[in-house]
Amino acid sequence: MAIAPIDSNSADSEPGRKRKSRRRQTAHLKQVPPSKQMRETIRAACMQIAASLDKSRPLSKDEMEKIVRDMLAELDQPESYVGWTMVMLASEFWRDQVAAVPHERRLFLLPHCLKHAEGCPADYDQFGLDCKTCGACSIADYRTIAEEMGYKVLVAEGSPIVMKIIVSGHVDAIVGVACLNVLEKAIDKILLAGIPCMAVPLLSSDCRNTSVDEDWVHDMIQVPHQQPQQKTRSYVHLMRAASAMFEEQELTRLVQPQRKGPTLAEVNGKGASALDPISATEKLALDFLARGGKYSRPFTTLAVYDALTGGDGTTADGAARVADYSDSVKRTALAIETFHKASLVHDDIEDDDAYRYGDVTVHRKYGVPTAINLGDYMVGLGYRLVSRDRKELGADKAAGILDCLADAHMRLSEGQGAELLWRDAADKSLKPVDALKIYALKTSPAFEAALQCGVLLSGTEEDYSEPMRLFARHVGVAFQILNDLKDWRGDSDNKLSAGGDVLGGRPTVLWALALENLNETHRTELVGLIDDDSRSAAARVARVRQLYTEAGVFDAAQRLVEKYRSRAEEIADQLEPEELRRLMYYLIDTILDDPAASQPPMVMHTLSVDMAVTPA
C-alpha cells in the first residue's frame, strides 16, 4: 500500500501556531504488532514516509503521533500500535543522521532482559552487565559485532547515563534495543535534543527472557557511515558547552580563583579540614559547583542567546559557533548556576535534607555554619562573575544582568521565607492558591533569570521581559508540582525516600488540595500526623498517602501541571523568531518531563477543584 507523503513543515513551524499537547495515559498505546509480517508492513510504511519528511529539525512527539495515527488508519491497524510505530518512524527519520556518525562515535545500548534469566553467569560492573566472555544469549553476539565495528557498547537501562555519555562528548549517536516503556522514558529527551537515535523495540515488556526481531537489530548496527542529504538541528552543542564550563580546567579558567592551595581531590578526600583554612571556602565552592546537576539553567541562557543571534549553535557546524562565544557570555551563564547552587545549599539546611546529587548534603558533611558561609560565598561569586566583565559586556548590559540576578535572588528568598514561616507556624491550614503563590516566588525566578540573561546578552532591541516572566512562572509552578509528586515516588538524585515534604513540614499544593477536599475528621488527622511521635516515620507517610489518595490529590496535581504546561505553550506560540519559539517548546518538554505520568494512575477519584487557581 502506498502511503501519502507528509508535509512536516505544517506542524509546530507556523508563526503564532497554537501547539496542542496531549498529556495522558499511554499504556494502551504500547502493543507490539504480533506478526512479523505486520511489523514489516508498518516499518516499510515508516521508511516511505520518513523519506518525504523535512529533516532540517527534529520532529516533536505531537507531530510524530499525528503522522503515525494517520498512517495506521490508512493501513487499517489499531490505535494500540501507536507507541511501537512512533519508535519505527523516529528510527527511520534519524537513519540518515545516524549514518553520518562514524561507527566509533556511536553508542549501542542493550537491555539486561535479553539475557537468559536462568543460569546467566555474567556479572555487573560500573557500566552494566559484563557479558563479553559469555555466549549464553544474543547479547554477546550483538556486542561482538558492534565492538568489532568500533561501537561503544553499554548493557544498561535508563536515560541518565546515556545523556551523560552524549553530553560528555564521547559519542554522537545512539542505537538501542529496549521495551516500549523504557524507550518512552529513555529516548524522548534524546530525540527532543536532536541527538541521532535508532531503536528496535523488544517484542514484550515482561523483562524476562524476552525476544526481539534480530535481523532488524543487525540492520541497525550495520547502518553504513555516509553523509546525509540534509542535517538536522540539535541542541547537543549547547548542552556540551554548558556542561564543559563545569569541568575543572574550564571552571578554573572562567572563575579565576583568588586563593592558592590544593583542591579537595588533591588532599585525597580528607575533607575541608585538610585544606588551607584561607582557601578552603573557595575550594569547597568550586567543588560543589562542579558536582552534579544537569546544568539546565546555564544551557537555557546559552540557548536563548543563540536563538536570538541566528540560531547557528544548533546547526551541523554548531560546535564551532558555540566555541566562539565570549568568556563574558559564558561567565553570565555560569553565574546563573552559581546562584542556583547557593540556593540549594541554603535550602538543604532549612529543610535538613540528607542528600543532594546522590551524596550527603553540604551541611551534614561539613556542618551548618560552614554550609551557610559556603552558600553566601557562591552568591558573591555569582555577582562577581558578571561585574568584572562590565567592560566586555558594556556598562548598560552588565547593569541589566546584575539587576535581573538581584531581582531573582530577592524573589526567591521571599518564596523561601514564606515557606519557612508556614513551616514554623502552629496553623497548618493552606489554600491551593497560596501554595501556588509560594511556588511562583520560590521556583520561577531562577528560571526567569536564565531566560532574561540570555535575552540581555543577545542585545536584541525587542522587549521579551513580560513573555519571559510569564513563561518562567508557568513552567516553574508546573515543575514544582511535579517535584512534589516526585517526592512520593522517590528520587535517586536527591530525596531518597517518599513523603519527605510532609515529614519536613513543608507547604505543598498536595497538602493544600488534601485539606480542601477531606472531611473535617480526616483534615484534623492529617494535620496531626506532622508531629505525631507515637508513629514511625514510615507509618505516618503511609497514612498520609492514604489520605491523599482518598482526596484524589495526585490526579488533581497532575491536572494542575497540565494547566500550567498549556499556559506556557500559549506564551511560546506567540514568540518570534522561530528558533526561540522552538527552544521554548523544547524547554517545556524537557523541564516538565514526567515519565511516571504515562504509568497507570495511583487513583482515579473524581475531585472538585477550582482549576482556575493562578498565583498572583
What pLDDT sits at residue 468? 97
18: in domain: no
Average pLDDT of the chain is 85
β-strands 173-178, 106-110: how paired?
A: parallel
**40 has pLDDT over 70:** yes
Q: Largest alpha-carbon pair distance within the chain? A: 75
Q: Is the pLDDT of residue 195 over 50?
A: yes
Residues 366-389 as b/e (b if ≥16 CB within 10 A, e otherwise) read: beeebbebbbebbbebbbbbbeeb
Query: What DSSP element (H or E) covers 518?
Result: none
What residue type is 484 in one-letter code? D
| Secondary element (H or E) of residue 560 | helix 553-573
* pLDDT at residue 602 in the model: 32
pLDDT at residue 58 is higher than 50: yes
In this structure, what CATH number is given to the domain that contains residue 294?
1.10.600.10
pTM of the complete model: 0.86
pLDDT tens-place string over residues 359-370: 899 999 999 999
State yes or no: pLDDT of 20 exceeds 90: no
50-64, 74-88, 400-414, 511-525 — which is least confidently predicted? Answer: 50-64
Q: Which residue has the cell 563574558?
A: 328
Contact 423, 507 (CB under 8 A): yes
What one-character DSSP code corresponds to residue 530?
T
pLDDT of residue 228: 87
What mean pLDDT do residues 45-74 have?
93
**Distance between CA atoms of 77 and 81, rounded to whole angstroms?**
7
Is the domain of 536 the same as that of 571? yes
Residues 120 and 153 in one domain: yes
pLDDT at residue 121 in the model: 53
Q: Is the pLDDT of residue 604 over 90?
A: no
Mean pLDDT of 438-458: 95
Query: Based on the structure, what is the number of domains in the chain?
Result: 3
Same domain, 142 and 41: yes
Is residue 83 domain-shared with residue 177, that is, in the same domain? yes
246 and 216 assigned to the same domain:
no
Position 72 scores a pLDDT of 97
Q: For residue 607, what pLDDT is reported?
A: 30
Asked if residue 73 has pLDDT above 60, the reply is yes
DSSP 242: H
Instruction: Tell whether 73 is covered by a domain.
Output: yes
Residues 389 and 401 in one domain: no
Quote the cell numbers at residue 565.
504546561
- Spatial contact of 420 and 397, defined as CB atoms under 8 Å apart: no
Question: Taking residues 154-167, what's their average pLDDT?
Answer: 76
How distant is the alpha carbon of residue 90 from its chain centre?
A: 20
Same domain flag for 164 and 186: yes
The identity of residue 334, as a single letter, is: L
Where does the pLDDT of residue 8 fall: very low under 50, low under 70, confident under 90, or very high at 90 and above?
very low
Cell of 266: 588533591
| Residue with grid cell 552487565, as numbered in its chain | 129
Determine the Cα–Cα distance for residues 219 and 108; give it in Å rounded to an integer: 13
Q: Look at 15-19, 81-85, 114-118, 507-511 and tell me which has the smallest mean pLDDT.
A: 114-118
pLDDT score, position 133: 53
pLDDT at 605 over 50: no
pLDDT digits 0-9 by tens, 251-298: 999 999 988 877 766 665 666 667 778 888 999 999 999 987 889 999
Q: In the listed set 393, 428, 448, which residue is the last one of a domain according to the structure?
A: 393
Burial 398-434 (b: 16+ CB within 10 A, else e): bebbbebbeebbebbeebbebbeebeeeeebebebeb
- Tell me, what DSSP letter sits at residue 603? -
Domain boundary residue among 354, 377, 393? Answer: 393
When comparing pLDDT for 9 and 480, which is higher?
A: 480
Of the chain, the percentage scoring pLDDT greater than 70 comes to: 82
> With 80 as the cut, is the pLDDT of residue 6 above it?
no
The answer to whether 549 and 604 have CB atoms below 8 angstroms apart is no
pLDDT tens for each residue of 198-223: 999 998 766 555 789 999 999 999 99
Q: Where is average pLDDT lowest: 44-58, 223-237, 242-256, 489-503? A: 489-503
Res 358: pLDDT: 83
Q: Are residues 534 and 569 in the same domain?
A: yes
Same domain, 188 and 45: yes
Report which secondary-structure segment, H or E, holds 534: none
Q: Which residue range forms the structural domain that includes residue 301?
A: 238-267+277-393
Of 348, 363, 393, the last residue of a domain is 393
353 & 467 share domain: no
pLDDT score recorded for residue 161: 75
Residues 469 and 557 in one domain: yes
Alpha carbon distances (Å) from 551 to 237, 243, 480: 45, 42, 20
In the chain, the amino acid numbered 488 is W
CB distance 438 to 486 below 8 Å: no
Q: Are strands 106-110 and 152-155 parallel, antiparallel or unpaired?
A: parallel
Helix ranges (H only) for 425-519 are 432-442, 444-458, 465-487, 500-503, 509-517
Give how far Cα 407 sits from Cα of 30, 203, 414, Å. Answer: 46, 53, 11
**Res 19: pLDDT:** 66
Query: What is the pLDDT, as a whole number, of residue 603?
Result: 30
DSSP letter, residue 49? H
pLDDT of residue 473: 97
Q: Are residues 469 and 383 in the same domain?
A: no
Can you tell me the mean pLDDT for 449-453? Answer: 97
The pLDDT assigned to 600 comes to 32
pLDDT in tens, 498-541: 777 887 788 999 999 999 999 999 999 999 998 888 888 889 99
CB 571 within 8 A of CB 515: no
**Above 50 in pLDDT, residue 82?**
yes
For 22, the grid coordinates are 496531549
Q: Is residue 13 part of a domain?
A: no
